[in-house]
Amino acid sequence: MTLSSAFRTGLRRSLLAVAVGTVVSGMTFSSAAVAQERELLNSSYDIARELFAAINPEFQAWWEEEHGEEIAISQSHGGSSAQARAIMQGLRADVVTFNQVTDVQALADAGLVAEDWQDAFENNASPYYSTTAFLVRKGNPKGIESWDDLVKEDVQMVFPNPKTSGNGRYTYLAAWGFAENEFDGDEEKIQDFMRTFLRNVAVFDTGGRGATTSFIERGIGDVLISFESEVNNIRSEYGSDDYEVIVPPVSILAEFPVAVVGENAERNGNSDLAQSYLEYLYSEDAQRQLAGFNYRVHNDTVVEEFADQFPDTELFEVETVFGSWEEAMENHFEGGALLDQLQRR
Amino acid sequence: MSQLAFWRSGSTRVLPGFGLSMGISVLFISLVLLLPITGLFGQLSELSLAEYFAIITEGRVVASYMVTIGAAAVAALVNAVFGLLLAWVLVRYEFPGKRLLDALMDLPFALPTAVAGITLATLYAGNGWVGNIIEPMGLQVAYTWVGIALAMAFTSIPFVVRTVQPVLEDLPAEVDEAAMSLGATDGVAFRRVIMPHLWPALVTGTGLAFVRSLGEFGAIIFIAGNMPYETEITALMIFVKLQEYDYAGASAIASVVLFVSLALLLAINIWQGRFVRRLHGGKG
Amino acid sequence: MRRIGDAPLVRRLLIGAALLLSALFLLLPLVAIFAQAFSQGVMVFWENVSNAFTLHAIGLTLVIALMTIPICLVFGVALAWLVTRFSFPGRRILQTLIDIPFAVSPVVAGLIYLLLYGRNGWIGGWLDSHDIQLMFAWPGILMVTIFVTCPFVARELIPLMQAQGSREEEAAVTLGASGWTTFWRVTLPNIRWALLYGIILTNARAVGEFGAVSVVSGAIRGQTNTLPLHLEQLYQDYNAVGAFASAALLALIALLTLAAKAGLEWRASRREAYT
């Protein structure tokens, strides 16, 4: 019986400790959530953490100087679709800074973002942009310069699955846009090109980060395809001697749309703050920081400063080749649409 | 046996606490488990029967069932053998490092599945610690279905070990002493004397491991390669539908996994109940 | 007297096989995690761990686990008592229902909670109009964690209590012991290790859960980011060392729980030896 009584006392004591600990820490956490100052919540895509970690303090300082008010900014990061889904289900983000036009549009369709959100800020509400580019191994052994080099028999590519990743969708659309131009719209030839293109994929990771890991750390494939900003960041992260960035002569324009989530901002009493925060992204200071993270920007002064960093390339818009994002999604990515047909065997 | 006699039989009337434990269990199951599940069926009701079948029988989805079930079956079988071995060694023998080994068993649960996935992929990829030994031998694990089975086996091994271990511990020493004194060899004694006691736990553990593997996502996607028709798992198909804001489609595929899993679990429970009843001579 | 498998050769062979396989299959990944976490030295590891966001994530994760355990414990014991000590119609169904969380993939688990308690759900809509927020706040994380972990205690107890049968308890009750006394004095000592395993598994899973939590958390840094979510974020950010530092912490929490169990076991066995 002593065994069981020792056990029982132990169990009782630990249960008590758990109960007390729970109550105390529960209170700490709920009180921590009540902030004294106004707090802006920015919901963003998953690789933008360091970017906004750099921009937020600058904005906070600027706001305090202008309005004499101290504010807090919180960040939420995740896959852009998952972030949009969370907002639709009640995540009270004041602003969104996404990397997919379709995800902001989904919020607009749900009535959370103004219908005319693309006109609310300059440049289609996209304070910065990028394109799809290649990262190849040192010396570019397979001689990859443009999209048609990717369908050669001995080339293996890594890019995320267009079904799960917006990044992967851009890659697919960029290749399609190239083929459309190359074959003068001959549907059969475009599809043949795309079929070979998709067959040369070595691994389909679910997201951009996974694809990077496959290419860099697992040593798979000859070329990694991702946003230009990403491949540059990856190159500086993993050693500029081992990899080269190739920006193809023709590629797709990738916009990084922003919007105020009207209903939430109003409810949180942050409408002015939200508007101002997004406008700030267009300021020269912010644009310089963005360029530092390898994004292409609009501010003329900054564009000139960073001219060497961004090679000239012909960027086409999704709208010109595919009509609209809606049509691109419907014709290519939905279940049973072109992407599925091209991968069928 | 009449209905009334069934109710009165065995221990049903002797022990107290029926009302209290019933109350807690039913309340909890209703609120925590059943109520949210209605959300899933709410989504399903948006589909017509034809649409539902079209979604769940789409070629790529069907291919993903094959991959998932095949890999999960292999993982479960491997775990049945490996888990039994581990449980036996942990209960029956004293050796240096036993505590550490015991602690290691829970690691797969404690690690977020994504970490497990990244780590396994790191180890088994062509340039990883294990990969660069086995790949020259012609054995490719990462980015094949073997990798999927490996990740499944890793995340579900504790189910087998931790289900078998307590039962084995609880087995009185006299059981095998008696068998040994009758002069049976180890193998025969194990099969005849120990296994009958372990079966329910072993099958339960293996079944749970299998079911867990059917739904696993985080650990697998990093090592699977995710090539259409070859190494795409069903959980990925659900994830794809979610990315497309297609809740109804996601719920449809999820419901297939749910039904299959629940049917298996129900079968295990019924079987386990029969087994125990037989073992305890009609009582259950 | 000799027991099965006591022959030295069999013994060595089995221990050897178990150790070798576990080393390859379980220890190696663990070593790899710590190797990655410390790949740039202890200082970098420490910087990552002592970062305010990481500390908050650790705190939140532990609090959620601490809240989950007692709830799952009460439920698990009640259910195990119910299904192993009584027979009634629907018993198997009840026992199978408890397995639902195993049958539902974690992301789907998060999703169903979101569909019900999210802004567009039927309960969520009402909550929202009363300005109560469960999803994207810690109550939501707690709810899905309970969902995912609730089978463990019951699952550990049921096979054992079934195997043990109820003769001892019946004897106690027949001799006049009250229900609670019977439970504390007869049942609990018999099931203590299974109960502890159940708690350990519950804790381990609660601490490590990613899929379900990621759907309902909103991942607001410094507010609703648990350690596994934080880890994912760092990994996405190319901060592999930071990510693996968090992973190492999670592995450490698991090992500490196990050490606590081992300690309790040791103390109990020592007391037994003295009396």
Q: What is the pLDDT of residues C170-227, one digit of tens each?
A: 888 888 888 888 899 889 988 888 898 788 889 888 988 888 898 888 888 888 999 9
CB-based contacts of B90: which residues, under 8 Å, 6+ apart? Answer: B98, B101, B102, B105, B161, B165, C18
| Residue B266 near chain C (CB below 8 Å) | yes
The total number of structural domains that make up chain B: 1
Domain match, C189 and C160 both? yes
- pLDDT-based confidence at A186, cuts 50/70/90? very high
Smallest Cα distance from A205 to chain B, Å: 6
pLDDT at A121 over 90: yes
Q: What pLDDT, on the 0 to 100 scale, is given for residue B5?
A: 39
Write out the two tokens for C135: 């999803």
Residues C240 and C204 reside in one and the same domain = yes
Overall domain count for chain C:
2
Q: Count Cβ atoms within 10 A of the Cβ of residue C91 and give its class: 0-12 exposed, 13-18 middle, 19 or more buried.
A: middle
Contact C204, C257 (CB under 8 A): yes
Q: Are strands A71-78 and A296-297 parallel, antiparallel or unpaired?
A: unpaired
The domain over range A38-127+256-281 is classified in CATH as 3.30.1330.200: no
Whether A204 and B142 lie within 8 Å, measured CB to CB: no
Q: Which residues of chain C have pLDDT under 70?
A: 1-2, 258, 262, 265, 268-275
Indicate the residue of A2, A47, A207 with minimum beta-carbon distance to C275: A2
**Mean pLDDT (whole number) for A43-70:** 92
| pLDDT given at position C272 | 59
Interface test with C, best of B3, B32, B86, B191 (most C CBs within 10 A): B32
Say if residue C26 is in the same domain as residue C47: no
Q: Is B200 on the interface with C (CB under 8 A)?
A: yes
Statement: the pTM of the whole predicted model exceeds 0.90: no
Q: Is the pLDDT of residue A196 over 80?
A: yes
Alpha helix positions (H), chain C: 8-22, 28-37, 41-50, 52-85, 91-97, 100-103, 106-117, 122-129, 138-149, 151-164, 167-174, 179-182, 188-208, 211-217, 227-236, 240-274
Interhelix angle B49-56/B247-279, rounded to 10 degrees, is: 80
Domain A131-252+313-343 fold is D-Maltodextrin-Binding Protein; domain 2 (3.40.190)
The domain spans of chain A are: 38-127+256-281, 131-252+313-343
**Three-point CA angle B39, C107, C120, nearest 5°:** 40
The tens digit of pLDDT for each residue in A298-338 reads 999 999 999 999 999 999 999 999 999 999 999 999 878 89
- Rounded distance between C-alpha atoms, residue A304 and residue A311, angstroms: 12
Q: What is the pLDDT of residue A30?
A: 44
pLDDT score at A318: 94
Amino acid at C36: Q
CATH number at residue C124: 1.10.3720.10
* Residues C77/C195, Cβ–Cβ less than 8 Å: yes
In a domain, B238, yes or no: no
Check whether residue C31 and residue C45 sit in a common domain: no
In whole angstroms, give the CA distance from residue A60 to residue A52: 12
Q: What is the pLDDT of residue B37?
A: 87
* Beta strands per DSSP E along B44-92: none
| pLDDT higher than 60, residue A33 | no
Q: Which helix (H) or strand (E) holds A102?
A: helix A101-109
**DSSP summary character for residue C220:** B
Q: How many CB atoms lie within 10 A of CB B57?
A: 11
Number of A/B CB contacts below 8 angstroms equals 70
- Residue type (1 letter), A311: P
At C274 the pLDDT is 55
> Which SS3 state, helix, strand or coil, does residue C2 take?
coil
A220 contacts on B by Cβ (under 8 Å): 125-126, 143
Q: How far apart are CA C256 and CA B99, in angstroms?
A: 12
Q: Does residue B273 form part of some domain?
A: no
C98/C148 same-domain check: yes
CA distance B8 to B53: 46
**Which pLDDT belongs to residue B127?**
79
B85 — contact with chain C (CB < 8 Å)? yes
The reply to whether A38-127+256-281 and A131-252+313-343 are identical in fold is: yes
A72 in Cβ contact with A231 (< 8 Å): no
Q: Which residues of chain B have pLDDT under 70?
A: 1-13, 276-284
Residue B13 pLDDT? 55
The answer to whether residues C32 and B119 touch, using CB atoms and an 8 Å cutoff, is yes
Non-local CB neighbours of B63 within 8 Å, separated by 6+ positions: B228, B229, B230, B232
A30 touches chain C (CB under 8 A): yes
Tell me if C145 sits within 8 A of C187, measured CB to CB. Answer: no
Full domain range(s) for residue B206: 64-232
Q: Do C205 and C77 fall into the same domain? A: yes
- Count residue pairs from B and C with Cβ separation < 8 A: 333
User: Could you tell me the two tokens for C4?
Assistant: 């099965």
pLDDT at B225: 79
Q: Do C231 and B181 touch (CB under 8 A)?
A: no
Give the pLDDT score at C273.
56
Asked if residues B192 and A180 have their Cβ atoms less than 8 Å apart, the reply is no
ipTM: 0.82
Query: CB distance from B186 to chain C under 8 Å?
Result: yes
Closest chain B residue by Cα to residue C260? B103
- Alpha-carbon gap, residue B108 to B113, rounded angstroms: 8
Question: Per DSSP, which regions of A161-313 are E strands?
Answer: 201-203, 223-227, 243-246, 250-255, 258-260, 296-297
Q: Assign A229 a pLDDT band (cuts: 50, 70, 90).
A: very high
Q: With cut-offs at 50, 70 and 90, classify the pLDDT of residue A275.
A: very high
How far is Cα A143 from Cα C202, in angstroms, rounded to an integer? 54
The dihedrals phi and psi of A154, each to the nearest 5 degrees, come to -95, 15
State which amino acid sits at residue C199: I
Q: Is the pLDDT of residue A13 over 60?
A: no
In this structure, the answer to whether residues C8 and C130 fall within a common structural domain is no
The candidate with the shortest Cα–Cα distance to A45, out of A107, A118, A97, A101, is A97
Same domain, C74 and C25: no
Closest-CA distance, A11 to chain C, in angstroms, reads 10
Domain assignment present for residue B40? The answer is no
The amino acid that residue A103 corresponds to is D
Which secondary structure element, helix H or strand E, spans residue B255, and what is its range?
A: helix B247-279
* Separation between Cα atoms, residue C69 and residue B8, nearest integer Å: 36
Q: Do C82 and C173 sit in the same domain of this protein?
A: yes
CB–CB of A333 and B244 under 8 A? yes
Would B68 be classed as within a structural domain? Answer: yes
Q: Do C66 and C105 reside in the same domain of the chain?
A: yes
Q: Going edge to edge, which strands form the sheet with A71-78? A: A71-78, A38-45, A95-97, A258-260
Instruction: Domain of residue C18: give its range.
Output: 1-37
Give the domain CATH number at B138: 1.10.3720.10
Please check the confidence at residue A8 and state whether its pLDDT lies above 60. Answer: no
For chain B, count helices (H), then strands (E): 16, 0
Which burial class, exposed, middle or buried, applies to A68 when counting CB atoms under 10 A from its CB (0-12, 13-18, 19+)? exposed
Neighbour subunits, C (≥3 Cβ pairs < 8 A): A, B
Instruction: Report pLDDT digits (tens) over A201-222.
Output: 998 888 888 888 889 888 889 9
**Which of chain A's residues have a Cβ under 8 Å away from the Cβ of C60?**
29
Q: How far apart are CA A244 and CA B183, in angstroms?
A: 73
What is the rounded distance in angstroms from the CA atom of residue C180 to the CA atom of residue C192?
16
B partners (3+ CB pairs within 8 A) are A, C
Task: Confirm or reject contact between C185 and chain A (CB < 8 A).
Answer: yes
pLDDT in tens, A334-343: 878 899 899 8
Q: How far apart are CA B67 and CA B4, in angstroms?
A: 49
Same domain membership, residue C97 and residue C147 = yes
Q: Is residue B209 part of a domain?
A: yes
Distance CA B222, CA B121 (A): 6
CA atoms within 13 A on the CB side of A87: 36
Q: Do C219 and A77 touch (CB under 8 A)?
A: yes
Q: Which residues of C touch A41 (CB under 8 A)?
A: 220
Element (H, E) at A137: strand A128-137
- Average pLDDT estimate for A93-113: 94
Does residue A71 contact residue A273 with C-beta atoms inside 8 Å?
yes
User: A9 falls in which pLDDT band (50, 70, 90)?
Assistant: low
Q: Which residue has the tokens 């760092």?
A: C234
Residue B88 three-state SS: helix
